[in-house]
Structure 1
Amino acid sequence: MQVFINLITRAFFMSTPLILGALGEVLAERTGMMVTAVEGIFLIGAWGGFIGAYLSGSMLAGFLLAMICGLLVAALYGVTTVYMHQHQIVMGTAIAILITGFCTFFYRVIFGIQTVPLKVTPLSVIRIPLLSRIPVIGQVLFSQNIVTYITYLLVPIVFFVIYRTSLGLSMRSCGENPEAADAAGINVTRTRFLAVLVAGCMGGVAGAYYSLCNVGMYTSEIIGGRGWIAFGICFLGNWNPVGALIFGIVFGISDALGTYVKALGNAAIPSELFSALPYILVIVLTVCRKQFNVPAKLGANYVKED
């Protein structure tokens, strides 16, 4: 029983960055912007978060730097796609590749070539008084770190913003019919650009989660495609924060299961199979999904007519 509880606790822990990144993607894609630079944003978040925390000795400084790094990469993506009208998928992929080289090069510039990996102490768990003592649920839900708590609180907040506010209506209008939104006085370009920036900030923090909360170190392979998983969760969740939460937990379970099997070291079950499980799930669930509530103008640049 304790093994099962530990596995579910780990699943909620591992789902945090996926949900956070997916929520940012939901906000952006509701305006029509596919932030395909998400893998690069995750990576530079992990890079900036570790450097900030290691050099300053402060986790807060690490997460702030990660947020700034994610914001800058998102700004680059937003300028080239929203204002310069470049192809969203091509630019996002190019930026992600650029960030991979950028992080590797400047990590070596700052720290040199290390024979022993540099490390920071991972973010500590905060046990909520009384609630953390509830059998099973207390350990799973109320014995997590502060980023996990904030991420799960963001789900209803993002849902409320999208579906219950005029801002959310403007965002959805930009993704469904930008011409009509423009005619109604909504600045489509600004709305899309700001949504991309918010997604960049959230993606930066999500990336930092892996270096500051999970392993306490940075490597160039630390993200390992999880940015794309967050991107896929947005699709699978039908561009809905609740859907992002549900599929984030599903992928968190698969991630935790892979980690658990690796720890067992059972030669009869290849650990690589479980490591690949989250990516297999993306393919299988996407193929099996019958209907997607895709924003009508998702991925289509908007050029205002004079």
Structure 2
Amino acid sequence: MINLLSRTIMMGTPLLFGAIAEVIAERTGMMVTAIEGIFLMGAWAGFVGGYLSGSLTLGFLSAMVAGFLVAGLYGWITIYLKQHQVVTGVAVNILVVGLCSFLYRVIFGVPITPLTVNPLTTIPIPLLSDIPLIGPIFFNQNILTYAIYFLAPLSYYMLYKTSLGLTIRSAGENPEAVDVAGINVLTVRFLTVLFAGLMGGVAGAFYSIGFLGMFTTNIIGGRGWIAFAICFLGNWNPKGAVIGTLAFGFAEAIAVYMQSIGSNALFPNEVFIAMPYIMTIVLTVSRKSFNVPAKLGVSYLKEN
């Protein structure tokens, strides 16, 4: 059980990176529906950067740059060209799948055996990792999981306790008021989308060089959409995102565990693989009310 809960925290790390980024962006009115593509591009760039350089640090930096560029493309089309956010996001996601597959073959050809890197290792925190029960679960993780321990409360504090957070929330609730205050609404929205790109790039790279140590074009497998759903199910609040991430992380940890021990005697492995996605559907349908930002998905047109 301790190992299962520890894996829950680890598997929830990239989902929380993506979910928090999505919460912040959607609070300004921007649905970053390109999140799946951002995750995938981050996974690709992270692996390529890490494999060619031999440095996971450079791999994650490459993933951040790649996520930033994809988010920049999405933000430019939706914010400044006023195109539909959902349609644009789907188009970007499809583009990224083809682009990653093409560039991977250009760089590496068709390898006979899968190319691999050594993924992130766990870093036990002295003393804390020795605490019974809690220590092995929370303090025997990798560096990105430790980073999320600080990022989650900081994002909540920023959104609800600072003037920047007020501006972000106002851009999604009453952008006209933000404009009257002399703040460029489009810039606020674009910057949050770029932030989502940076975070999503790291999240995607977590799967390729933080966990598996390899890259395939189906490595993300809809997890970007799960992070997107966690934002909704968490009511656009970092606290809700943390709770949702733990639930989905636990479901994914169970799926990985069942595959490792071989569960075909009772249920097909595909049942456990599908658990996070089944949860997404069930929780979305069962949710009675949402605290949706008033201008979510609505382009801002400044009045003359």
Q: TM-score range by the shorter chain?
A: over 0.9
1:138 is the counterpart of 2:135: yes
Q: Percent identity?
A: 61
**Aligned-residue offset at 1:290:** 1.0
**Structure 2 equivalent of residue 273 of structure 1:** 271
**Structure 2 equivalent of residue 295 of structure 1:** 293
Structure 2 counterpart SS, 1:301:
coil
Aligned length: 303
Matches within 5 A, 1:109-148: 109-148=106-145
CA RMSD in angstroms, aligned pairs only: 0.6
> 2:28 & 2:100 partners in 1: Cα distance?
29
> 1:242 & 1:59 partners in 2: Cα distance?
30
**Residue of structure 2 aligned with 1:93, choices 85, 90, 95:** 90
The one-character-per-residue Cα deviations of 1:242-288 (angstroms, maximum 9, x if unpaired) are 11111101100000100111112122211101110101101111111
**Aligned-residue offset at 1:222:** 0.4
Structure 2 counterpart of 1:294, one-letter code? V
1:8 is the counterpart of 2:14: no
Structure 2 counterpart of 1:262, one-letter code? Q
- Stretches of structure 1 that go unaligned for 5 or more consecutive residues are none
> 2:258 & 2:267 partners in 1: Cα distance?
8
- Stretches of structure 2 that go unaligned for 5 or more consecutive residues are none
The one-character-per-residue Cα deviations of 1:180-203 (angstroms, maximum 9, x if unpaired) are 221122210000000000000000
Structure 2 counterpart SS, 1:70:
helix
> 2:149 & 2:227 partners in 1: Cα distance?
15
**Structure 2 equivalent of residue 198 of structure 1:** 195
Structure 1 counterpart SS, 2:111:
coil
> 1:177 & 1:145 partners in 2: Cα distance?
40
> 1:187 & 1:149 partners in 2: Cα distance?
34
TM-score (normalised: structure 1): 0.98
**Residue of structure 1 aligned with 2:171, choices 171, 174, 189:** 174
> 1:26 & 1:52 partners in 2: Cα distance?
28
> 1:191 & 1:266 partners in 2: Cα distance?
49
**Aligned-residue offset at 1:218:** 0.3
The one-character-per-residue Cα deviations of 1:44-64 (angstroms, maximum 9, x if unpaired) are 000000000000011110000
**Structure 2 equivalent of residue 304 of structure 1:** 302
1:226 is the counterpart of 2:223: yes
**Aligned-residue offset at 1:152:** 2.1
TM superposition outliers: structure 1 runs of 4+ over 2 Å = none
Structure 2 counterpart of 1:63, one-letter code? F
Structure 2 counterpart of 1:219, one-letter code? T
> 2:133 & 2:214 partners in 1: Cα distance?
30
> 1:56 & 1:184 partners in 2: Cα distance?
47
> 1:22 & 1:217 partners in 2: Cα distance?
24
> 1:225 & 1:13 partners in 2: Cα distance?
18
**Residue of structure 1 aligned with 2:254, choices 257, 268, 271:** 257
Structure 2 counterpart SS, 1:76:
helix
